[in-house]
Structure 1
Amino acid sequence: MDELSENPLNLGPKDCGQTNAIGAERRRHERFAVEGDAEVLVAKGSQVFRGRVQDISLSGCFISTRARIRMSIGAPVEMVFRANGVMLRLSANLRMVRFGHGAGFVFQELSPHMHQELERLIEELKGASRSSRSLE
């Protein structure tokens, strides 16, 4: 696949949350694999799509979906997802789109309760990650 079709918006590494030219990670927080269902509502109800939460951090997540995402980078959304018995309702902004695969979101101002729930989920995932590494 050529670069243009993989990155049709011609986004740079910063926009996609990828590594920079020297290979350093640009994300603020460590990501953890997670399995959960998500529903995303684009501001003003112009689009709703469902998907699977693939990974999550304290600052954002990636949601796998085959839905055609018709919004621009930075667009505000409301999302609800369930993972490991935790239900979170968060405000976020679209950070990047991988057409045919899903989209990355950065969380916005979390209420104290939602921040606490997110931290609890991350701690569970962190513990599970350590356990699986020690079994290898």
Structure 2
Amino acid sequence: MKPVVGATPRVVKSEQEWRAELNPTEFAVLREGATEPAWTGEYVDTKTTGVYECRACGAELFRSDAKFESHCGWPSFFTPLAGESVVLREDRGFGMVRTEVLCASCHSHLGHVFEGEGYATPTDQRYCINSVSIKLVPDES
């Protein structure tokens, strides 16, 4: 994975350490920037109230109240939990220019963010996130 310019992760591990902690699919997505197939992730249709954490390091990333139905095949959020929870970088893979979303804490690949698609959300942004990149911690209430 390419480094994020000007940003230093708080959680730093070797490739060997990440491989020992993550299963092969998690490693491919989180550490190598792969994408899980559309409509296959466990959180695509989830309505449970809680916080979504980074599956690699446990950092809090998104709240369920920012999740919305985008019908794109991946969980979608209109904003991260806090401005510092994610970092963005340009992704020129697959012959297009996109904005990649990374966990600010460990720089694991989460997905991409898109703007101006016309969704009726407060930010007009769609954080399109791989289910395998996140873990839902349900509220206890």
TM over 0.5, shorter chain: no
TM-score, normalised with respect to structure 1: 0.30
Q: Which one has the largest radius of gyration?
A: 1
Higher strand share: 1
Structure with the larger RCO, 1 or 2 (CA within 8 Å, 6+ apart): 2
Higher helix share: 1
